[in-house]
Homo-oligomer: A and B are copies of this chain.
Amino acid sequence: MKTQQTAEGVARPAGRPRSEKAERSIIEATLELLGEGIGVSELSIESIAGRAGVGKTTIYRRWSNKEDLVVDALATLKPPIPLPQGGTVRDDLVTYLRVIQEETRHHRTRCIMNIAMSDSERHPRLAERFRELAVEPRRAVVAAVLRRGMETGELRADLDIDMALALLSGAMIWSTKWSHSGESDAGLPERIVDEALKGFRPRNSEQ
């Protein structure tokens, strides 16, 4: 194993270098298949190789098992849409839920979410990726919005931020999944936010 020094001083093995194009198309093929509804357990290396136009060897040389590949593939998904914040707290929250709602319309996103919900049970490292990739960044952004509202007095000063986030996100997911068939989804984000802001109690009740 001879190595050379590049101009940048990075050690480099002798021989033909690995093709970055192949690597990209492998990951792209993986995401495509997952996005078509193929679960992690049904995902086969052969199908990925076929889709990517690549020999199985090339895949096995880089990833020793399927989970590693999927983890790396998911890491390339960029957190979509930085939430535009700046309006009312209510408006920002509505925008946030609209983003979620829009995503659930795309088949690809739904499939990825399904993997996050289910396959992560058997693949803890997948769950980890999802958390740091999709859950945590959004949590941070919305948490900032909520904190702002608590400072301006638009929200209760003792609001439990994580709980508020769970109520909003959870309600959105739950509604799109189990809403009555005929029920319209128009204005759903607004209705969720307003209901959450108001609370269930009458405005002038004691306690």
When the two chains form their complex, are residues B179 and A167 in contact, meaning their CB atoms are under 8 A apart?
no
When the two chains form their complex, are residues B153 and A202 in contact, meaning their CB atoms are under 8 A apart?
yes
Q: What is the interface residue range for chain A against chain B?
A: 35 or more
Q: For chain A, what secondary structure do more than half of its interface residues adopt (helix, strand, loop), or is it mixed? A: helix
Enumerate A126-161 residues with CB–CB distance to B below 8 Å: 131, 135, 146, 149, 153-157, 159-160
Instruction: Verify if A199 is at the interface (C-beta below 8 Å from B).
Output: yes
Of the 9-residue stretches A53-61, A79-87, A189-197, which lies at the interface with chain B? Answer: A189-197
Enumerate A149-206 residues with CB–CB distance to B below 8 Å: 149, 153-157, 159-160, 162-164, 166-167, 169-175, 177-180, 183, 191-192, 195-203, 205
When the two chains form their complex, are residues B196 and A160 in contact, meaning their CB atoms are under 8 A apart?
no
When the two chains form their complex, are residues A118 and B121 in contact, meaning their CB atoms are under 8 A apart?
no
Q: How many copies of the shown chain assemble into the complex?
A: 2
Q: Could you tell me the distance between the alpha carbons of A163 and B185 in the complex, rounded to whole angstroms?
A: 12
When the two chains form their complex, are residues A200 and B202 in contact, meaning their CB atoms are under 8 A apart?
no
Q: List the interface of chain A (C-beta within 8 A of B).
A: 37, 39, 41-42, 110-111, 114-115, 117-119, 121-122, 131, 135, 146, 149, 153-157, 159-160, 162-164, 166-167, 169-175, 177-180, 183, 191-192, 195-203, 205
Taking A157-B202, A169-B170, A198-B199 as given, write out 11 further A-B residue pairs in contact, using a Cβ cutoff of 8 Å, ordered by the A residue number. Answer: A42-B42, A114-B118, A118-B119, A155-B200, A159-B195, A162-B175, A166-B178, A170-B170, A170-B174, A197-B201, A198-B201
